[in-house]
Structure 1
Amino acid sequence: MKWSELCIHTTNEAIEPISNILHENGASGLVIEDALDLEREHTSIYGEIYELNPEEYPEEGVYIKAYLPINSFLGETVEEIKQAINNLMLYDIDLGRNQITLSEVHEEEWATAWKKYYKPVKISKRITITPTWEDYQPVDTDEIIIELDPGMAFGTGTHPTTVLSIQALEQFLHKNDTVIDVGSGSGVLSIAAALLGATRVYAYDLDDVAVKSTVLNAKLNQLEEKIIAKQNNLLDHVKVEADLIVSNILAEVIVRFIEEAWERLKFGGYFITSGITQSKKQLVKEHLEQQGFEIIQVNELEDWVSIVALKPNQ
């Protein structure tokens, strides 16, 4: 089968919403080439160095590459994607250059190309994320291994927003907690919560593909009994009482369900939010405080922010 590579030159801020648009339009696999990757230290837990080719990366911003089957509907699909991306500007999302190019590739090329970017990475004191095809052996006795099959590429677990979320989970989650993961994506945060000791994790995502990805990855980590994944719009109609809620999603979406998060959290419970850009940090903080949350921590990694809020005891 022949495939078309759709390359979008955009910003870090736009990665998640554009990725969702691409998935909704039938993209099979994504590659994200971030100019900042060339500046980061890429030594893995093995001591290996990732060999990245600077010629494949933009001078600034990111390339998001999606793969669409070449068929009679391709032209219409591409136009729908372009329109949906342009509509993101209505939500004050910086699209950067927003340049889109199209090229043809063969199946064997896209099926393996993105795997070279995905290696085992230790992202917190105890947690290492590894793809299913890598034979990784733990280095420390208390190391927690998360195996992921990114599949439709909802997240490899190494993006700064995910790292911040997992580091917060490691600090604030208590054994036997009940956890809600809003916008579960690949399920990496749900899996981390379960491995850190949560008794039950409720993973919600509006996208059915994300729900299936969470279910798949929960099974890969033998956690299908602890993680309940369902298709749902944020916390609409959710009745679960949680000790901790985590959400790695856009700031504009977080502020929409802060009241519901407050209602679902037990007193003394934590609300971990991530996916927040520097420009939206104050917006989220203000909405949390207006609801009655106490801001416990504000953590930053590169251009991203996570906020840990407490629902104080009565």
Structure 2
Amino acid sequence: MTWQQLICHTTVEHQEAISAALEEAGAASVTFEDAVDQPILEPLPGETPLWDLLVITGLYPAEEDLTALLLHLELHRHSWSIAEFKLEQLEDRPWVREWMDNFHPMLFGQRLWVYPSWREVPATATEAVKILLDPGLAFGTGNHPTTALCLEWLDGEDLVGKQVLDYGCGSGILAIAAAKLGAAVVVATDLDPQALEATVENARRNQLTADKIITCLPEDLPAQRYDVVIANILSGPLVTLAPTLLSYLKPQGRLALSGILADQGATVAAAYEFALENTQITAKEEWLRLEGQAKA
């Protein structure tokens, strides 16, 4: 099957209106891309992570008449801050297969593998701890440095028999990793109900029972403390949530935070330093992970 794509350059304020217009015109898919190479990270729970300037692309069958859609976009060009839009024909290629081929099993730390359902972990990885996770709508597949930093940290921790809190669980990848690495109970929380649904579904696909990973909204978190707390969100919320996250940590409990750009590390560290000892900052590309141990 041959395809055509409509490419529209706009701003984040108008992404909903434009994507809705593309969908109403019968788009087989609508995708978002960064227009100016602006970094983006795992979002604050409940937020859609988009760049300030973005490219929205709608994919349509080649024979589809998109004249009405083009006129509609032209009519709203100024009110929707559309810098430009264009229609392109795509050569006949196996797009789905090419997309799938881009995703390979990924190793984090010494033994933690994340792999999609259409691939296998290398047979040589005899001590592998495997997480089955297909790319989807919920964020967190291991591709982003912030997720990788958290997965590598979990792989290096002794989680056997521990109680773990994943604050801002997204796809559930960190909660699943903790459970697979031996945690007795993992509580995964997120402001977005869809993230909780994704976590439940991904846990089920990884043969984890409902009592192994408990999901809830932040306001429904049980009043207890945890051996390990991990949060991969944004630096601003990490600073705001410092008293909350620290209140969930047992004395001598372990804390790991990510979603922190290099120039934000000092600010985040300052919000936690009074309660932590043995703190350490680890960098991957332009992102940081802050870890430490709660004071007794």
**Same fold at TM > 0.5:** yes
- 1:152 aligned residue (122, 134, 137): 137
Q: Which residue of 1 aligns with 2:214?
A: 228
Relative to structure 1, is the Cα distance of residues 152 and 237 closer, same or farther in structure 2, using a 3 angstrom cutoff? Answer: closer
Q: Which residue of 2 aligns with 1:217?
A: 202
* More off after superposition, 62-71 vs 196-205: 62-71
Partner AA of 1:190 in structure 2: A
- 2:173 aligned residue (170, 185, 188): 188
Structure with the largest fraction of helix: 1
- 2:183 aligned residue (190, 193, 198): 198
Deviation at 1:169, TM superposition (A): 1.3
Percent identity of equivalent pairs = 30
Q: State how many pairs are aligned.
A: 254
CA–CA distance in 2 between the matches of 1:240 and 1:110?
48
Q: Which residue of 1 aligns with 2:63?
A: none
TM-score, length of structure 2 as denominator length: 0.72
Relative to structure 1, is the Cα distance of residues 261 and 181 closer, same or farther in structure 2, using a 3 angstrom cutoff? Answer: same
Relative to structure 1, is the Cα distance of residues 103 and 130 closer, same or farther in structure 2, using a 3 angstrom cutoff? Answer: farther
Deviation at 1:222, TM superposition (A): 0.7
Q: Is the 8 A contact 1:6 1:100 kept in 2?
A: no
Q: Secondary structure at 1:164's aligned position in 2?
A: helix
Partner AA of 1:261 in structure 2: L
Q: Is the 8 A contact 1:131 1:147 kept in 2?
A: yes
Deviation at 1:207, TM superposition (A): 1.4
Point out where structure 2 has 5 or more consecutive residues left out of the alignment: 1-25, 61-65
The one-character-per-residue Cα deviations of 1:242-279 (angstroms, maximum 9, x if unpaired) are 11000111111111211111211111101110111001
TM-score, length of structure 1 as denominator length: 0.68
Partner AA of 1:229 in structure 2: T
- 2:236 aligned residue (245, 252, 256): 252
RMSD: 3.7
Q: Which residue of 1 aligns with 2:253?
A: 269
The one-character-per-residue Cα deviations of 1:102-126 (angstroms, maximum 9, x if unpaired) are 76899x9875554332111112111
2:34 equivalent to 1:8? yes
Q: Which residue of 2 aligns with 1:57?
A: none
Relative to structure 1, is the Cα distance of residues 268 and 254 closer, same or farther in structure 2, using a 3 angstrom cutoff? Answer: same
The one-character-per-residue Cα deviations of 1:134-185 (angstroms, maximum 9, x if unpaired) are 1334423221111102221512212211111111112234311000001111
* More off after superposition, 135-144 vs 10-19: 10-19
Point out where structure 1 has 5 or more consecutive residues left out of the alignment: 25-31, 33-61, 84-98
Deviation at 1:306, TM superposition (A): 0.1
Q: Which residue of 2 aligns with 1:286?
A: 270
Relative to structure 1, is the Cα distance of residues 283 and 23 closer, same or farther in structure 2, using a 3 angstrom cutoff? Answer: closer
Partner AA of 1:157 in structure 2: G
Q: Which residue of 2 aligns with 1:125?
A: 110
Relative to structure 1, is the Cα distance of residues 178 and 65 closer, same or farther in structure 2, using a 3 angstrom cutoff? Answer: farther
**1:8-27 → structure 2 map (5 Å cutoff):** 8-11=34-37, 13-17=39-43, 22=48
**1:22-171 → structure 2 map (5 Å cutoff):** 22=48, 114-171=99-156
Relative to structure 1, is the Cα distance of residues 101 and 10 closer, same or farther in structure 2, using a 3 angstrom cutoff? Answer: farther
Q: Is the 8 A contact 1:9 1:100 kept in 2?
A: no
Relative to structure 1, is the Cα distance of residues 105 and 174 closer, same or farther in structure 2, using a 3 angstrom cutoff? Answer: farther
Relative to structure 1, is the Cα distance of residues 19 and 243 closer, same or farther in structure 2, using a 3 angstrom cutoff? Answer: closer
Q: Is the 8 A contact 1:202 1:227 kept in 2?
A: yes
Q: Which residue of 2 aligns with 1:305?
A: 288
Q: Is the 8 A contact 1:183 1:249 kept in 2?
A: yes
Q: Secondary structure at 2:35's aligned position in 1?
A: strand
